[in-house]
Amino acid sequence: MKKSFFLTLLIFLSLIIAACGNTKENSSGNNGNTDNANNANEASESEAFTIGVIPAQTEGSMEGAMEKLQTILTDEMGREVKVEVYPDYNGVVEAMNYDKIDMAYFGPLSYVIANEKSGAKAIITQLIDGEPFYHSYIITHKDNPWNSLEDLLEDSSEVKFAFGDPNSTSGSLIPSIELKDREVYRSEDDYDFESVRFTGSHDATALGVLNKRIDAGAIDSAIYNQLVDSGKVDGEQIKTIWESEPLFQYPWAVHQDTDEETIEALRSAFLGIEDQEVLDAFGATAFTEASNEDYESIRQAALKEGLIEE
C-alpha cells in the first residue's frame, strides 16, 4: 500500500515539474518573440528612409539641391534620409514597385503608372506662384519662322522634333496626344516630322532648341521658366508656340505601406521648406498637400493612350 502511494506521489510530482518547465519555456519563448519584434522595430527606425527622384533636369544640375533636401528632411524627420536622382523616370517607378524606395518624386504620368503598379500614394506637390498647376509647352528658336503650332505643322516634314523622357507628362504624354489629334504623330516610329527624338530631361530639350540641334521640343513650363530665370537658358532666343491646358503639379508619393505618423512627419517637413536652391530644382515656390484624386485627368489621358489598364 505504501509502495503504491509513493509511486503515485512520484508520478504526480513529475507531472508538476514538467508543467513548470513548459511554462518557463513558453514564457521564455514569448519574451524571445517580444524581443524579436522590438529589434525589428528598432531596425526599421534605424534604417535610412529612401527617396527616389525623377531626372526632371539632368542629374548633375540637381545634385547640390538634393544634398540640401536630404539634410533638411533628415533633421526634420529625426532619422537618416537618403535622396537619389535616378537616370530615368521608369527607374523610379520600378524602384517603388520592387520596394527599393520609401518615397518618390514623380511626374504626374509616372505617378499614375506607379499608383496602378504598386499603390504609391501622393501626399505632397509643389506650388508655382501659389498655384499647383503647370503647362506643357512646345518651344522653338526665335530664328525659326513658326509663331504657332499650326505654322510648325505646315512644315512638319522639315522639323526635327524632341520630346523629353518617354514617361514625362508635359514632355511626352500631353504633347504627343495633341500631335496625334493633329494627325502628324502616331508613335515614336511613325510620324510626319523629319525626325523625332527623346532628350531624357527638360533642360536637355531647352538647350537643344537654344543650340539649334533640334527645331522644336516639348517641355515643362515651370522648369523652362526656372531655366530662364536662373540664366541657364536665354529666354530671348526662344519662343513658345503652343501651351496645354493646366496640369496638376508633380507629386511626392509614399510607398503604400507607409504609416500615418511618417506621412504626417513628411508633410510637415515639406511644407516648411523655404530653401531657394531646393525649390528651384523643382521649379517650385513652395510645397503643398496633394492626393490621388488630383491626378484623375492624367489617369484618363494614360488610359486613352493605353499606358495603364482600366
Q: Do both 234 and 257 map to the same domain?
A: no
Mean of pLDDT values over 243-260: 98
The helix (H) or strand (E) run that includes residue 208 is helix 202-210
Position 24 in a domain: no
- Count other Cβ atoms within 10 Å, centred on residue 295: 26
Number of domains in the chain: 2
Mean of pLDDT values over 185-214: 97
CA distance 240 to 175: 13
Express each pLDDT in 215-225 by its tens digit.
999 999 999 99
CA distance 236 to 204: 18
By the 8 A CB rule, do 168 and 134 touch? no
Q: Do both 217 and 263 map to the same domain?
A: no
Position 190 in a domain: yes
Q: Do both 128 and 141 map to the same domain?
A: no
Express each pLDDT in 4-23 by its tens digit.
444 444 444 454 444 444 44
Give the gyration radius of the chain's Cα atoms.
Answer: 28
Q: Do both 157 and 230 map to the same domain?
A: yes
* Strand-pair partners of 279: none
Which residue, among 175, 170, 174, 169, has the nearest Cα to 220 in the 3D structure?
Answer: 170
Express each pLDDT in 111-170 by its tens digit.
999 999 999 999 999 999 899 999 999 999 999 999 999 999 999 999 999 999 999 999
Residue 263: pLDDT band by 50, 70, 90 thresholds?
A: very high
Mean of pLDDT values over 251-280: 97
* Strand-pair partners of 50: 82
Q: Do both 219 and 276 map to the same domain?
A: no
CA distance 290 to 279: 17
Model confidence at 2: pLDDT above 50: no
Position 13 in a domain: no
Model confidence at 198: pLDDT above 90: yes
Q: Choose the final residue of a domain: 244, 270, 294.
A: 244
235: amino acid identity, one letter: G
Measure the N-to-C terminal CA separation of the chain; round to a whole number of Å: 84
Position 17 in a domain: no
What counts of helices (H) and strands (E) characterise the chain? 11, 15
Mean pLDDT score of the chain, rounded to an integer?
89
By the 8 A CB rule, do 217 and 162 touch? yes
The CATH number covering residue 163 comes to 3.40.190.10
Position 55 in a domain: yes
Position 117 in a domain: yes
User: According to the model, what pLDDT value does residue 46 have?
Assistant: 66
Express each pLDDT in 64-83 by its tens digit.
999 999 999 999 999 999 99
Q: Do both 57 and 146 map to the same domain?
A: no
By the 8 A CB rule, do 104 and 95 touch? yes
Q: Going along the chain, which residue ranges are E strands? A: 49-53, 81-85, 103-105, 121-127, 133-134, 136-141, 160-163, 185-187, 190-191, 195-198, 216-220, 238-243, 247-248, 251-254, 286-289
Mean of pLDDT values over 232-259: 98
Q: Do both 217 and 255 map to the same domain?
A: no
Q: Choose the final residue of a domain: 193, 211, 244.
A: 244
**Residue 226: which domain range?**
136-244
Q: Do both 154 and 215 map to the same domain?
A: yes
By the 8 A CB rule, do 223 and 65 touch? no
CA angle 57, 63, 66 (to 5 degrees): 95
Q: Do both 236 and 256 map to the same domain?
A: no
Position 296 in a domain: yes
Q: Do both 188 and 208 map to the same domain?
A: yes
Q: Do both 260 and 280 map to the same domain?
A: yes
CA distance 59 to 234: 21
Q: Choose the final residue of a domain: 200, 225, 244.
A: 244
The residue count of the chain comes to 310
Q: Do both 126 and 142 map to the same domain?
A: no
CA distance 208 to 70: 31
- Count other Cβ atoms within 10 Å, centred on residue 155: 14
Position 2 in a domain: no
CA distance 4 to 1: 5
